[in-house]
Amino acid sequence: MQRRFLVLYIVLLLLQISCVLAYSRSDDLGELGAEQVSEKSELEQMRQQLKELKATTSDAVSAFNKLDTSPLKKGLKEFHLFCRPASHEIAPGKTIECLTYNGLLPGPPLRVKEGQLVRIIVHNQLEQNTSFHLHGMVLPGSVDGLPNSKSGLIKPGQTYAYQFVAKPVGTYWYHPQIMHAEQKIKGMYGAFIVEPDEPIKTTDEDIVLILGDTTANKMQESASAANKPVTSTSTSKVVYLINGKTAPAIPGIEVRPNSRVRLRVINAAQHSVPLHITGHKFEIVSLNGNLSGEQTSRDTITCGVSDRMDLEFTANNPGLWSMASELIEQSTNNGQFPGGIACVIRYVE
Ligand SMILES: [Cu+2]
């Protein structure tokens, strides 16, 4: 009887070892993506069966402990992203048709610890191929290189798992690869944040702001806002967004007196954005995920296309303030302030 359980346990160990190896054998990542759901439930079942057997398998346990499993001790972080079309409200009564991750614009923010094993499972529910790029991360070509039929390309209805170790600390973002750039323009993007493994508390607030734009030729003014039965379609124009909303629908940034605030600005728009803060000055602490040597305080910072900037300020000037693009076409709606990239900074107790 004990022998049977021992065999079962060794099978489990081999399965676990094969999981460890999968991280270094990136050629196998595609197959893992397709098989992992059933594999995971099998593992769960085996774990349940084996719970009471630990005392009888000490040899197998000690053999397993000799393996270098240190990366796994930090735990695997797994995310599921579903690529699909969605209607998204950029302001009350104003919706756009876009492509999304999980129906959200932007996609869900993914936060992990440095050194953590990450598995991002992308389910393609679009009617076209897609792919996945971790912008700013330096990863093996088989994970983040240009996709091909054996690696990284996801056909309609297919699922693919991208697996890697998250490093270094920084602000990154995700979107489809360059060959599917039109999907990014239509809304497929989100933040990927690598935090220090041991948290060092240097800020009180950590706020992600993703700048975006959309060509609103399909923007619809629905009946609910205008209280009219007719739906009108606006002419083509670029509408600027922060976290998928356009002013005045962008929520204010709430800060507590004397708190240290970090803004992780990610520019997913097709235009550079000169961002101006009133009543405070930014310090640039990180550029494109790298620590910045720049110590000069700035009140206006131009965030280039696809750039990421970690900006910090101390909330030491109570009042109601603005943070907006300095370009009039980016911070107004047909010349009317506010519109596009404009929000308030509000002090709360
Ligand atoms: Cu990119």
Dihedral (CA of 310, 110, 82, 91) sign: negative
For residue 151 the two structure tokens come to 């690696």
What's the 137 CA to ligand 1 centre distance in angstroms?
Answer: 10
For the sheet with 253-255, list strands across it: 253-255, 342-347, 320-325, 273-277, 300-303
What's the 175 CA to ligand 1 centre distance in angstroms?
Answer: 6
Q: Which of 278, 280, 343, 313 is nearest to 203 (CA)?
A: 313
What's the 205 CA to ligand 1 centre distance in angstroms?
Answer: 26
CA distance 246 to 41: 43
Query: DSSP alpha helices (H): ranges in 29-138?
Result: 29-50, 58-65, 70-73
What's the 13 CA to ligand 1 centre distance in angstroms?
Answer: 39
What's the 172 CA to ligand 1 centre distance in angstroms?
Answer: 9
User: Lowest-pLDDT range, 20-24, 114-118, 248-252, 332-336?
Assistant: 20-24
Is the distance from CB of 37 to CB of 179 less than 8 angstroms? Answer: no
What's the 285 CA to ligand 1 centre distance in angstroms?
Answer: 21
Domain annotation for the chain: domains and CATH numbers? 2-67 (no CATH), 76-200 (2.60.40.420), 207-347 (2.60.40.420)
pLDDT tens string 24-67: 334 444 444 444 555 555 555 555 554 444 444 444 445 444 54
pLDDT at residue 236 in the model: 64
What's the 294 CA to ligand 1 centre distance in angstroms?
Answer: 24
What's the 212 CA to ligand 1 centre distance in angstroms?
Answer: 13
pLDDT at residue 349 in the model: 87
User: Lowest-pLDDT range, 167-181, 241-255, 286-300?
Assistant: 286-300
What is the pLDDT averaged over residues 102-127? 96
What is the pLDDT averaged over residues 282-299? 85
What's the 191 CA to ligand 1 centre distance in angstroms?
Answer: 11
What's the 268 CA to ligand 1 centre distance in angstroms?
Answer: 8
What's the 315 CA to ligand 1 centre distance in angstroms?
Answer: 32
What's the 258 CA to ligand 1 centre distance in angstroms?
Answer: 35
User: Lowest-pLDDT range, 124-128, 181-185, 201-205, 211-215?
Assistant: 201-205
Confidence grade of residue 73 (pLDDT, cut at 50, 70, 90): low
Greater pLDDT, 341 or 335: 341
List residues, by chain if needed, whose CB lies under 5 Å from ion ligand 1: 135, 306
Radius of gyration of the chain (CA): 24
What's the 267 CA to ligand 1 centre distance in angstroms?
Answer: 10
Greater pLDDT, 38 or 180: 180
What's the 133 CA to ligand 1 centre distance in angstroms?
Answer: 7
Which residues are 117's β-sheet partners?
76, 165
